[in-house]
Every structure is written in C-alpha cells, then in structure tokens.
C-alpha cells in the first residue's frame, strides 16, 4: 500500500492493523486534510498520464481509492463503535472535503475517457473476464456519479451529494441519541413480574452504571432501556401491559421530536434523492438505485414482493388470530383489543404452550466462547479453513474486542477479523454489521508478499456478560453472529486478487446478503447446534428434547416474520418510486397506506418507525431493502444443495462446502451474481426452498 505516514498522526499509519490504541478524534481533521491534499496531487498526475491499459489506469486508480477508503473507513468505523461529541465534530468538519474529493474523482472526464478508450482499444482483448467486468462497472459508476453532467446541473448534483452525506450522518446520530436518552427505572417487585433472570441482571447492571450503586437483580432498581438486549426481552415477558405500552411507544417514536427529530430530514432526503435521479435522467430514485443491482427494474421487484406477500399474508392473519385466541383462553382483558405492545408477550406465551420452551431456557446453553468454538468448527468442516485467536496481535478500540486470524489447510494465513460482540448503548449504534478494514489485493501487497490479505470488522450488539459469567446468547443473537460471519466469509475467503472485485467489492447489492443468510440455516443443524452448546453451570449439551422443540418452532409465525420484512421493503420502494415529496401526502401517510396491504395489525397513527429506519436513510439500503428477501431466495436455494447432499453426510457436506467456497465465497464481484450462483447450483434460483423453509409452501 502506498503510505502517507507521519509519526505524529496514527490515522495516517496505513497498515493492515490500524492503530486503534493511539487514534483519537483530534487526529481526524489533520490526517484527512493531509491525505486529501496528497490524493489530489496523485489524481492530477493520473489524469495527465493515464494510459488506456489495466496497469496504466486501473491499478493506479485502485491504489488511490484504497488509501481514501481505508483511512476514512477507520473514521466511519469509530463513528459506529466509539461515538463521541469530539469524533462527531471532527467527522462533520472533514466530511464535506471527503465527499468533494470523491465527486471530483467520480466525475473526472480524463479518467472516464481513458476507461472508455481501454474498453474500445487493443488492450481490451488482453483483459480477463474479471478485469472487463471491473472496467464496465467503473464506466457505469462514473455515469451514475454525474460524469456526464455539465454546468449548473453538475453544481446542483454535487451540492445534493454533499447535503445527503451530511443528512445521513445526522440521521444516524439522532437515532443513537434518542435511543440512549430514554430509560424507565422500576423499583417495585410488581413492576418486573414475568421478567427473566437474565434481563433482571442486565437491568440491575444498567441501573448500577447509571448511579444506583445499591441495585441488585433480586431487589432492583432495574433500568429498562431501548437498547435491543433489554427492549426485546422486556416486550417478550413483561406482565405489566401499561409498562409495555410505555416502552413500545418510546421505541416507535424514537428520533421524532425535539432536537433529535428525523421527520424533517426524511422529507429532505427523499426530495434530494428524487431530484438527483432526475438530473441523471431517471424517473425515480428507485430506478437509479436498480441501475447497479441484480434486479432489472422496479416492476420485477414489485412482482417479486407481491408473490411473497400473497404467500405470507393469510398465514400472518392466522398468526394474529392464534394470539387473540391464546389471550382469550387466558382470560386477558386485551383479548379483543390486542395492540402492538401485546404481540410479543402473547407470541412468547403461545410458543411456550405450543412447543413447551422459551428463549430464555436456551440462553444458559450458549455461552459466547462455546458458540464461537462451534462456529469456527463448522467453517472448518465446510470450507477447510481454521480460525484461531490472535488477541494482542492488533490494537483494538475497546477491551471487549477480540482479534482472530484465518488459515487455509496448508497452515497459511489468508485473512483476519475483529469481533466486537457486546452492546454499548452510550457510544455504539444498534444493530449488527460486517465492514471492511482492508480488502484482498495483489496491487496493494506490501514488499515480500504476493497479496494483501483481507481484514474484516464483525460488529454485534448482544447481551454483555453479567456477574462475572461469560455472555449468554439468545438464539436470535446466535443467528445474528452467524449472519455477520457469513458476510465476513464473503469478504475474507475471496480468491480474487483485483481489489476492485475482491470479496464484497463490485457485488450487486441485492446479492450481497446471500452468504450471510446462508449461514443462518446452520443454527438449526443438529451437529452444529449441539456442538456449540455447553450449559454455563454444568457443561451439559443442549438436550435432544430442547433441540427438537427449537426445530419444530422454526416456522412459528413465519408468515408474520415474512410479512414484516415485506412491509419494510414495500415501504422503501413506495417512498423511492411512487411518492412525491412535494405533494400533499407525507412519508408517514405512505407508511399507513403500505401497511394496509402488508400488516395484519396496522401501526398506530403516531408510529414514527421511519424516523429510526437507518437502513434506508443512513445506510446502503435506499430503494434496496427488498435485497434481504431477494438474496434470501438465493441463500435458501444454496442451502438446499447441502440438504440434497445430506446434512448428516460429512464427506458430502465437505465436498458441497468446497464447491460453495470456490464459487459464492471465492469469486466475489469478479463475475455477475447470477453466473456465480449458476456456477454453484448448476441452474437459476427458485423460491421453492425459501417457502419450504418458512413453512409457507403451497
């Protein structure tokens, strides 16, 4: 990697292991200013000297973009995991300059013309298929970045880009602030009736950290927050309907009032995206978004979503009727007036009746260290790679963060990753994600090495350890870990040496969830699940009877789960394709309208879920949320290949795993996703496996 190193600024010490032990918010502005100045000089040199060849154009372009992506990526990463006022200020100061340089690069006529000359010239025939796909993508991306715009149109387009970048960051900060500002402190035993011991421990620990030094799990006080490890179990188990309503209303109105109000931002973001699309000649932002995705057009996406809606709507209605019947049988006052804050608690009650277990029973069997051991054992069996702890070999940003290396079957290191597992609501945004620290690249290899090896960030927000015991994972938290590790494998097991198509690079957004959702399925695989269970007190393996109950419950409320995702996806598409932000209707009116078709218990009129919908307003899923379901069709069909091989047939699983590794995981963005899928499956995907796994097959 080309480095612009200064001993005094650790953010500019570009190595494969960033100096998280030294990087501070005060380093951000001077580092980025220095880097951007150097990159501008490099860009000018490339523009005057670019040759229409791979080595004379694409390799220098990769070097240039990588320096920016790695350094600014570290800043963005810290914004997600170690957010602070000082870091926000630094980010806000320098973000316009970063966006400005990115636009300057994306709109460079000299580089665009050189790329087109490469495609049209004699050097094209010497490029392999992966190189040609990369060049085609660069030409397309330049067009989408506004390279063809002139004069006022370009100025306006660039102003919109700047403003959207700022609004996205502000939106995300507002959600973080609104989440951590709410707390409900309970101090009477009757307030916590029904709450499981793990939540009482967590809530007492939160109260203790907030200053109630006398707090204990047995006697309180207990602090209930909107952080998911607390919120989820509270809504699942609290017997106090009034308190459930209070917490639920706080959750669905996050970031919708006061200084952290995201409602005006939503309107502005949608207006700006629409205008941006029109400037580029697209009818809507959704059409612009799909120009670089696997799905060919909006109509195809809407037909796909409608097909799944019809398969799941009546099942979701039956799910709701079952909950009402359960409440009625229990003599509950709310039986004839079930509200959104009642759903989780009755769903949990009905599951216990139907399958005779609850989520909390599973938790003691799944301490995080044991789960990691089981996960790593699975990837060794399937893909022939070993994951080993390497704590202390790379600086970390928090004491809870672990570092691991991955080795191939020849004992050669091939990748590494950081794992930041626990929730920290004061500084870490919610949810879970995988991101790139550095990507695989031959061009960016250090002297003496053939390639630079990929390094990933794996971030979860699971329940932290309490009372000196290891963190105990809910089944949902386990699935989340497997999901993010699937993204990580996609990034880390690539064999593509071109950085611009290695791992997740150049993979169409609606295919990028395939490897992650594929991994979810293994949480139900007997050998895998039992192999990573060991009761925290006794070491006992998960009993067969509990495993059977868990599998039997796999399709419990599957119609409701599917419909919920379709609600989000249809709402996203409606806002970015059909909605006129300048009209009389508001985004919240659209939400209510979409909900009529995609929910069986409509949201409250005051529901402001959109104000915390970071996926589409502060993430990469704008006019792309459908990708979760689109890719789930691919992932379910991919897992079906392992079912056909025989889930208990170790040699057949290993052979299928190697085939999956050589195609889905290895090829990255070097080939179109449908080609990659066909290379593994031998045919195009079918929805049959997804509907079968969901219990929704006709």
| Residues in contact with 618: Cβ distance below 8 Å, sequence separation at least 6, in sequence order | 168, 169, 171, 172, 175
Catalytic annotation present for 484: yes
Whether the pLDDT of residue 6 is over 80: the answer is no
User: How far is Cα 643 from Cα 665, in angstroms, rounded to an integer?
Assistant: 19
Return the pLDDT at 691: 94
Residue 417 phi, psi dihedral angles, 5° rounding: -155, 155
Are 127 and 199 members of one domain?
no
Are 400 and 512 members of one domain?
yes
Q: Is residue 539 part of a domain?
A: yes
User: How far is Cα 319 from Cα 321, in angstroms, rounded to an integer?
Assistant: 6
Please compute the mean of the pLDDT values over residues 491-497 and round it to a whole number. 98
Are 336 and 367 members of one domain?
no
Return the pLDDT at 101: 98
Return the pLDDT at 358: 86
Are 231 and 123 members of one domain?
no
| Residues in contact with 265: Cβ distance below 8 Å, sequence separation at least 6, in sequence order | 167, 170, 171, 174, 617
| pLDDT tens figures, 606-631 | 999 999 999 999 999 999 999 999 99
Tokens representing 37?
């100045």
Whether the pLDDT of residue 145 is over 50: the answer is yes
User: How far is Cα 39 from Cα 68, in angstroms, rounded to an integer?
Assistant: 8
Whether the pLDDT of residue 69 is over 90: the answer is yes
Return the pLDDT at 2: 38
Please compute the mean of the pLDDT values over residues 312-319 and round it to a whole number. 97
CB 502 within 8 A of CB 521: no
- What is the count of structural domains for the chain? 4
Please state whether 315 falls in left (phi above 0), alpha (psi between -120 and 50) or beta. Answer: alpha
Q: Is residue 132 part of a domain?
A: yes
Are 374 and 509 members of one domain?
yes
Return the pLDDT at 219: 96
Whether the pLDDT of residue 5 is over 50: the answer is no
- Residue 14: which pLDDT band, with cuts at 50, 70 and 90? confident
Please compute the mean of the pLDDT values over residues 9-29 and round it to a whole number. 93
Final residue before a domain boundary, out of 525, 552, 579: 552
CA distances 136 to 76, 158, 618, 671, Å, are 28, 23, 28, 12
- Residue 468: which pLDDT band, with cuts at 50, 70 and 90? confident
Alpha carbon dihedral 500, 504, 510, 515, in 10-degree steps, equals: 150
User: How far is Cα 511 from Cα 671, in angstroms, rounded to an integer?
Assistant: 12
CB count in 10 Å sphere of residue 33: 13
Are 186 and 302 members of one domain?
no
Final residue before a domain boundary, out of 148, 171, 193: 148
* CA-wise closest residue to 176 among 259, 243, 58: 259
| Residues in contact with 497: Cβ distance below 8 Å, sequence separation at least 6, in sequence order | 440, 441, 442, 451
- Let me know the angle formed at the C-alpha of 367 by 653 and 380, rounded to the nearest 5 degrees: 25
Residue with tokens 């037909």: 303
| Residues in contact with 286: Cβ distance below 8 Å, sequence separation at least 6, in sequence order | 298, 301, 573, 576, 577, 623
DSSP state of 117: H
Alpha carbon dihedral 309, 617, 108, 276, in 10-degree steps, equals: 70
CB count in 10 Å sphere of residue 657: 21
| pLDDT tens figures, 318-353 | 999 999 999 999 999 899 899 999 999 999 999 999
CB 412 within 8 A of CB 405: no
Are 272 and 341 members of one domain?
yes
Are 547 and 429 members of one domain?
yes
Q: Which helix (H) or strand (E) holds 386?
A: strand 386-389
Edge-to-edge strands, sheet with 386-389 = 386-389, 402-407, 413-422, 455-462, 433-438
Residue 388: beta bridge partners?
Answer: 405
Q: Is residue 658 part of a domain?
A: no
User: How far is Cα 514 from Cα 297, in angstroms, rounded to an integer?
Assistant: 20
User: How far is Cα 569 from Cα 431, in angstroms, rounded to an integer?
Assistant: 18
Whether the pLDDT of residue 227 is over 60: the answer is yes
Return the pLDDT at 7: 60
* CA-wise closest residue to 366 among 552, 546, 542, 545: 542
Peptide bond into 221 cis (omega under 30): yes
Please compute the mean of the pLDDT values over residues 554-576 and round it to a whole number. 97
Q: What is the CATH number of the domain that holds 393?
A: 1.10.1370.40
| pLDDT tens figures, 170-198 | 999 999 999 999 999 999 999 999 999 99
Burial class of residue 498, CB neighbours in 10 A (0-12, 13-18, 19+): buried
| pLDDT tens figures, 627-657 | 999 999 999 999 999 999 999 999 999 999 9
Q: What is the CATH number of the domain that holds 613?
A: 1.10.1370.10
Q: Is residue 50 part of a domain?
A: yes
Are 567 and 533 members of one domain?
no
CA distances 252 to 179, 181, 482, Å, are 11, 14, 27
Percent of the chain at pLDDT > 70 equals 99
Are 379 and 490 members of one domain?
yes
Are 333 and 479 members of one domain?
no
CB count in 10 Å sphere of residue 17: 17
Are 307 and 436 members of one domain?
no
* CA-wise closest residue to 548 among 521, 536, 562, 530: 530
Q: Is residue 371 part of a domain?
A: yes
| pLDDT tens figures, 512-538 | 999 999 999 999 999 999 999 999 999
DSSP state of 687: S
Beta strands at 413-422 and 455-462: parallel, antiparallel or unpaired: parallel
- Let me know the angle formed at the C-alpha of 450 by 448 and 456, rounded to the nearest 5 degrees: 105
CB 470 within 8 A of CB 368: yes
Return the pLDDT at 467: 81
- Range with the lowest mean pLDDT among 13-27, 134-148, 223-237? 13-27
The domain containing residue 85 runs over which residues?
Answer: 10-148
Q: Catalytic one among 302, 360, 484, 508?
A: 484
Final residue before a domain boundary, out of 552, 572, 607: 552
Q: Is residue 696 part of a domain?
A: no
User: How far is Cα 595 from Cα 603, in angstroms, rounded to an integer?
Assistant: 7
User: How far is Cα 632 from Cα 479, in angstroms, rounded to an integer?
Assistant: 14
* CA-wise closest residue to 458 among 387, 517, 403: 403
- Residue 200: which pLDDT band, with cuts at 50, 70 and 90? very high
- Let me know the angle formed at the C-alpha of 555 by 552 and 558, rounded to the nearest 5 degrees: 160
Q: Is residue 635 part of a domain?
A: no
CB 81 within 8 A of CB 431: no
Instruction: Compare 667 and 16 and report the one with higher pLDDT.
Output: 667
| Residues in contact with 242: Cβ distance below 8 Å, sequence separation at least 6, in sequence order | none
| pLDDT tens figures, 351-410 | 999 999 988 899 999 999 999 999 999 999 999 999 999 999 999 999 999 999 999 999
| Residues in contact with 459: Cβ distance below 8 Å, sequence separation at least 6, in sequence order | 80, 81, 420, 428, 432, 433, 434, 435, 484
Q: Is residue 644 part of a domain?
A: no
User: How far is Cα 240 from Cα 193, in angstroms, rounded to an integer?
Assistant: 7
Percent of the chain at pLDDT > 90 equals 96
- pTM for the whole thing? 0.95
Tokens representing 588?
């919240």
């Amino acid at each position: 990697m080309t480095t612009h190193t200064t001993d005094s600024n650790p953010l500019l010490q570009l190595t494969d292991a960033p100096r998280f032990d030294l990087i501070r918010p005060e380093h951000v502005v001077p580092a980025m200013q220095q880097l951007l100045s150097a990159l501008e000089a490099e860009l000018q040199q490339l523009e005057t000297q670019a040759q229409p060849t791979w080595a004379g154009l694409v390799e220098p372009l990769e070097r240039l973009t990588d320096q920016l992506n790695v350094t600014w990526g570290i800043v963005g990463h810290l914004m997600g995991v170690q957010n602070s006022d000082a870091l926000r200020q630094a980010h806000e100061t320098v973000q316009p300059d970063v966006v400005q340089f990115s636009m300057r690069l994306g709109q460079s006529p000299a580089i665009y013309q050189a790329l087109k000359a490469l495609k049209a010239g004699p050097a094209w025939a010497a490029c392999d298929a992966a190189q040609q796909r990369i060049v085609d993508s660069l030409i397309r991306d330049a067009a989408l970045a506004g390279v063809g715009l002139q004069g006022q149109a370009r100025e306006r387009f660039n102003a919109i880009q700047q403003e959207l970048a700022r609004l996205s960051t502000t939106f995300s900060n507002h959600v973080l602030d609104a989440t951590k500002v709410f707390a409900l402190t309970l101090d009477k035993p009757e307030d916590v009736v029904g709450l499981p011991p793990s939540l009482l421990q967590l809530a007492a620990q939160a109260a203790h950290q907030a200053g109630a030094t006398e707090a204990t799990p047995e006697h309180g006080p207990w602090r209930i927050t909107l952080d998911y490890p607390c919120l989820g179990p509270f809504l699942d188990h609290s017997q106090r309907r009034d308190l459930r309503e209070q917490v639920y209303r706080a959750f669905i109105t996050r970031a919708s009032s006061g200084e952290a109000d995201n409602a005006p931002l939503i309107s502005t973001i949608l207006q700006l995206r629409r205008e941006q699309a029109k400037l580029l000649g697209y009818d809507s932002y959704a059409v612009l978004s799909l120009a670089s995705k696997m799905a060919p057009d909006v109509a195809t996406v809407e037909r796909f979503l409608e097909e799944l809606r019809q398969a799941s709507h009546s099942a979701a209605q039956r799910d709701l009727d079952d909950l009402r019947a359960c409440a009625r049988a229990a003599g509950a006052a709310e039986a004839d007036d079930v509200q959104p804050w009642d759903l989780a608690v009755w769903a949990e009650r009905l599951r216990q009746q139907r399958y005779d277990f609850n989520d909390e029973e599973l938790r003691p069997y799944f301490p995080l260290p044991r789960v990691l051991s089981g996960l790593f054992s699975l990837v060794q069996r399937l893909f022939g790679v070993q994951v080993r702890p390497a704590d202390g070999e790379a600086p970390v940003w928090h004491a809870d963060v672990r570092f691991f290396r991955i080795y191939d079957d020849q004992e050669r290191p091939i990748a590494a990753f950081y794992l930041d597992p626990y929730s920290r609501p004061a500084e870490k945004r919610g949810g879970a994600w995988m991101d790139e620290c550095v990507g695989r690249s031959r061009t960016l290899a250090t002297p003496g090495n053939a390639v630079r090896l990929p390094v990933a960030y794996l971030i979860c927000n699971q329940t932290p350890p309490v009372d000196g015991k290891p963190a105990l994972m809910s089944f949902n938290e386990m699935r989340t870990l497997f999901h993010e590790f699937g993204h990580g494998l996609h990034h880390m097991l690539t064999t593509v040496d071109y950085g611009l198509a290695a791992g997740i690079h150049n993979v169409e957004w609606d295919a990028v969830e395939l490897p992650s959702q594929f991994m979810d399925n293994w949480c139900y695989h007997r050998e895998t699940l039992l192999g990573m269970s060991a009761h925290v007190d006794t070491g006992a393996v998960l009993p067969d009877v509990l495993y059977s109950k868990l599998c039997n419950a796999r399709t419990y409320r599957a119609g409701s789960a599917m419909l919920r995702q379709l609600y989000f996806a249809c709402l996203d598409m409606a806002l970015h394709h059909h909605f006129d932000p300048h009209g009389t209707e508001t985004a919240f009116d659209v939400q209510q309208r979409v909900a009529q078709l995609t929910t069986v218990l409509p949201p409250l009129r005051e529901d402001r879920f959109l104000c915390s919908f970071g996926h589409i307003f502060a993430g990469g899923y704008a006019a792309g949320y459908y990708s979760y379901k689109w890719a789930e069709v691919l992932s379910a069909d991919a897992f079906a290949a392992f079912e056909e091989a025989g889930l208990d047939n170790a040699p057949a699983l290993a052979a299928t795993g190697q085939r999956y590794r050589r195609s889905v995981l290895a090829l990255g963005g070097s080939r179109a996703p449908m080609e990659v899928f066909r290379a593994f499956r031998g045919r195009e995907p079918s929805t049959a496996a997804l509907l079968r796994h969901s219990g929704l097959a006709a």
